[in-house]
A and B are shown apart, each in its own frame.
Chain A
């Protein structure tokens, strides 16, 4: 069966420090991969999605970037964190193709101080 791993679960980082969040999927090949952010008590904002290795689409211009170095690995990065980058970050995957269920990782709660 397919599983998605996301780490770390929580992270406290100072302003100006770098960020690297990692997500991996097991049990499937060539998934579509997504990074979402959720501010406290708010809805989900799509940040990046990827349909293949090295293929990244950005939905919102911001202080973050994403990379997909391997088929089932998706990384969210920042060179210098801002206070506004605080939030709950969720990785998600779906079977490539057309209209399949979306499955989320457990998320990373990031606090920038």
Chain B
């Protein structure tokens, strides 16, 4: 199956800093999503972004499908940004198996 690697595994930043999280995948994809899991376990869908760039407030994401990676940018980080960020993909034309494969996540801790 497709492999999804996220880096860094852990990131500790001061409030107000910017951060970049990376997701590499081993095959072509037609579906890529970013999720944030807060410290209480709630998982929120941040972006559906199989290609291109999207922005939502202080968060933006870019997927370069031809080079098999995606980046999640967090600007002016706040303590509420803490948690684990997951990237998940569906392999292109993996008919009958169109379910998301999740990476192992990046744990982000924002220090006040």
When distances are taken between beta carbons in the complex, the residues of chain A under 8 Å from B105 are 43
- A102-B50 in contact (CB<8A): no
The total of interchain contacts (Cβ-Cβ below 8 angstroms) comes to 45
When A100-B48, A107-B42 are in contact, do A43 and B33 touch as well, CB less than 8 Å? no
Interface flags, A60-103, vs B, CB<8A=1, else 0: 00000000000000000000000000001010100000111111
Q: How large is the interface on A (under 10, 10 to 19, 20 to 34, 35 or more residues)?
A: 20 to 34
- B50-A99 in contact (CB<8A): yes
- B30-A99 in contact (CB<8A): yes
Indicate whether A30 reaches chain B with its CB closer than 8 angstroms.
no
- B90-A102 in contact (CB<8A): no
Contact of A99 among B35, B86, B90 (CB under 8 A): B90
A107 CA to B40 CA in the complex, in Å?
10
When distances are taken between beta carbons in the complex, the residues of chain B under 8 Å from A88 are 41
CB closest chain-B residue, reference A108 = B41
- B50-A101 in contact (CB<8A): no
Distance of B96 from chain A, by nearest CB (Å): 10
When A43-B86, A43-B104 are in contact, do A98 and B98 touch as well, CB less than 8 Å? yes
Considering only residues 30-45 of chain B, those with a C-beta below 8 Å from chain A are 30-31, 33, 35, 41-45
When distances are taken between beta carbons in the complex, the residues of chain B under 8 Å from A34 are 99
Distance of A9 from chain B, by nearest CB (Å): 9
- A106-B33 in contact (CB<8A): no
When distances are taken between beta carbons in the complex, the residues of chain B under 8 Å from A102 are 33, 35, 45, 88, 100
Q: Which residues of A contact B (CB under 8 A)?
A: 34, 38, 42-44, 46, 49, 59, 88, 90, 92, 98-104, 106-107, 109
> A46-B99, A102-B88, A106-B42 are known contacts; what are 8 more A-B pairs with Cβ within 8 Å?
A34-B99, A43-B86, A43-B102, A43-B104, A43-B105, A99-B50, A103-B45, A104-B35
